[in-house]
């Protein structure tokens, strides 16, 4: 007996439902187009393995560049060493460490777990 949530099927009912006759030649697949990728496969490939890693790469490059420039300017210029700019320096260091770790690992997860 098999229960599918709405009805219980006996072995005889299961055998009668699954027995079908095929008019095709033995060895030829019933579904010839099964090897052709669907448009959803192309879309998900393009989205997860091309677009997302490229966008995360752009975010990483811009984040590293911008935060590195902020750090360079505050550290190298004597008149930029104020209390407010020290707070901005700490924010830039924290953001730089975030941008170096999170987007590349997230892009890898998107591309690898497909």
On whether residue 15 sits in a domain, the answer given is: no
pLDDT at 30: 53
On whether residue 7 sits in a domain, the answer given is: no
On whether residue 2 sits in a domain, the answer given is: no
pTM across the whole model: 0.61
pLDDT band at 27, cuts 50/70/90? low
Percent of the chain with pLDDT over 70: 69
The answer to whether 114 touches 47, Cβ cutoff 8 Å, is: no
Mean of the pLDDT values across residues 6-35?
55
What digits encode the pLDDT tens for the residues 36-90?
A: 777 778 888 888 788 888 898 999 999 999 999 999 999 999 999 999 999 999 9
CA distance 58 to 52: 10
On whether residue 95 sits in a domain, the answer given is: yes
On whether residue 55 sits in a domain, the answer given is: yes
Domain that holds residue 104: 39-114
Percent of the chain with pLDDT over 90: 39
On whether residue 29 sits in a domain, the answer given is: no
pLDDT at 38: 79
pLDDT for residue 4 is more than 60: no
On whether residue 63 sits in a domain, the answer given is: yes
Per the structure, the count of domains in the chain is: 1
On whether residue 23 sits in a domain, the answer given is: no
Residue 2's DSSP bridge partners are 9
Calculate the average pLDDT of the chain.
Answer: 79
CB burial of residue 8 (10 Å; 0-12, 13-18, 19+): exposed
CB-based burial, 60-98: b 16+ in 10 Å, e otherwise: beebeeebeebbeebeeeeeeeeeebeeebeebeebbee
């Amino acid at each position: 007996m098999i229960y599918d949530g709405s009805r219980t099927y006996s072995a005889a009912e299961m055998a009668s439902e699954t027995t079908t006759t095929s008019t095709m030649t033995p060895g030829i697949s019933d579904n010839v187009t099964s090897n052709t990728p669907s448009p959803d496969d192309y879309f998900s490939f393009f989205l997860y393995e091309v677009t997302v890693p490229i966008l995360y790469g752009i975010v990483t490059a811009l984040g590293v560049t911008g935060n590195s420039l902020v750090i360079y300017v505050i550290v190298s210029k004597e008149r930029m060493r104020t209390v407010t700019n020290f707070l901005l320096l700490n924010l830039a260091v924290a953001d730089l460490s975030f941008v170096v770790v999170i987007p590349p690992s997230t892009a890898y997860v998107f591309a690898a777990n497909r």
